Every structure is written in structure tokens, then in C-alpha cells.
Amino acid sequence: MSDSNPAATPTVVEDGCGDGRWMSVHKRLVSDAQEKEPEVVFIGDSLIAHLSYIEMWDTHFAPMHAINFGIGSERIENVLWRVLNGEMDQMNPKNLCSREIAIFAGCGATCWYK
């Protein structure tokens, strides 16, 4: 039985440019997750990705040991795929309850789905 909502099916971003850029960024984020022990995780689309470039990130989020897993041009199904394929795997389940996870994706999804 197929799901009629495409956002509910984890999906890799189509490599339209043929350079593997999205998968390369995903692998870097998986590596970051292995090297760091974040207390706050932000995961989502370009709005999350751009947080790390503003002063608020340095003053409010970096001191909380936050990590930014934002990738531009993503849709909900892409973020879901990343969560299920490594970016959250290195989070210690014992300590996961003491962590904060902010997910933001899909604000532009209405133009993708009909």
C-alpha cells in the first residue's frame, strides 16, 4: 500500500546537478554528529541552515552546544530521510531525553505538492 502523502516517504534529494553535493553535505553532517556531543540539534531546510550565519547563533545557540543540520532546498521527506539515515544515529539514546531537537521543514512545501 503506497502512502498518498509524498512528504511521509523518506526520500533522497534528486542530484539535478550531478555533483553529489547534497549527499556530500549529508555525509559531513553525519561526521559532525560523530565528533560532537550536541545538547541542541537543529535539523531542517534553508531557514535552519542560515541560522548558523547570524549573530544570534553565536550568542544564543553555540554556547548551548548546538549543532546545525540544515540543508537548503529540502522538503519534509528529505529531512525525514536524513533522520533515518545517519544524522541522528550517533546521538546517545541514554542522553537523548536530555537533548533538545528542533525540526523545521515544509514551510515551502505547498508549492511542491498538488
Set of cell numbers at residue 25? 553535505
Q: What is the average per-residue pLDDT within 33-58?
A: 90
Question: Cα(22)–Cα(56) distance, rounded to whole angstroms?
Answer: 26
Q: Provide, rounded to the nearest whole percent, the portion of the chain with pLDDT above 90.
A: 46
Task: Output the pLDDT for position 6.
Answer: 85
Task: Output the pLDDT for position 81.
Answer: 95
pTM, two decimals, is 0.81
Amino acid at site 42: F
pLDDT tens for 59-110 read: 999 998 899 999 988 899 999 999 999 998 877 655 556 678 888 887 765 5
